[in-house]
């Protein structure tokens, strides 16, 4: 039986919320939000759990039948976002780069409820986030100005 890959833990700040997981990658300054399904798959990426066991547990947790393709779709997203210890090559029945629409078409109604989604953004470095505009510079909001005052489109 094929085992789930090992999730990367080093260089990541991981915050669990109600049903999602937020992951900040300190190496790439990217933030990733794992929806409920992706978060559950992430928890099974321990290098020990089999893919079949992960499917059974997810089916029970989400109260809908979960196909192995759905699990591999999530794992492929983790691999693409460098969230695994080792890059993986998904099995042949998973088309690398399959998008959500193709996943729903392939898996049908269950995928609409349970499609795993990893949303990623590039976060500013602490220095970039702390940078403000000096007086006289064009601005859009007061938060951009060192003085905290944007008046008429110019920092005061």
* 116 in the same domain as 77: yes
* 104 in the same domain as 84: yes
Q: Which of 25-29, 45-49, 87-91, 121-125 has the highest mean pLDDT?
A: 45-49
Residue 129's domain comprises 125-156
Number of structural domains in the chain = 2
pLDDT at 103: 59
Q: Which has more pLDDT, 90 or 81?
A: 81
* 114 in the same domain as 89: yes
Confirm whether 4 is domain-assigned: no
The per-residue pLDDT of the chain, averaged, comes to 83
Confirm whether 108 is domain-assigned: yes
Element (H, E) at 155: strand 154-155
Q: List alpha helices for 10-156, DSSP H.
A: 36-43, 51-62, 68-80, 100-107, 109-114, 126-130
Confirm whether 89 is domain-assigned: yes
**Residue 125 buriedness (CB in 10 A; 0-12 / 13-18 / 19+):** exposed
pTM over 0.95: no
* 141 in the same domain as 110: no
List pLDDT tens digits, range 83-126: 999 988 777 665 555 565 665 665 554 555 566 677 777 766 66
């Amino acid at each position: 039986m094929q085992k789930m890959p090992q999730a990367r833990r080093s260089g990541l700040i991981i915050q669990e919320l109600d049903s999602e997981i937020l992951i900040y990658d300190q190496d790439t300054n990217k933030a990733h939000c794992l929806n409920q399904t992706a978060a559950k798959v992430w928890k099974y990426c321990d290098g020990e759990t089999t893919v079949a066991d992960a499917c059974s547990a997810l089916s029970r947790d989400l109260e809908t039948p979960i196909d192995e393709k759905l699990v591999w779709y999530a794992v492929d997203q983790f691999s693409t976002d460098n969230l695994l210890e080792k890059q993986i090559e998904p099995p042949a029945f998973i088309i690398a780069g399959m998008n959500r629409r193709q996943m729903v078409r392939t898996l049908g109604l269950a995928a609409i409820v349970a499609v795993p989604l990893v949303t990623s953004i590039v976060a500013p470095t602490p220095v970039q986030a702390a940078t403000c505009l000096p007086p006289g510079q064009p601005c859009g909001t007061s938060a951009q100005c060192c003085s905290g005052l944007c008046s008429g489109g110019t920092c005061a």
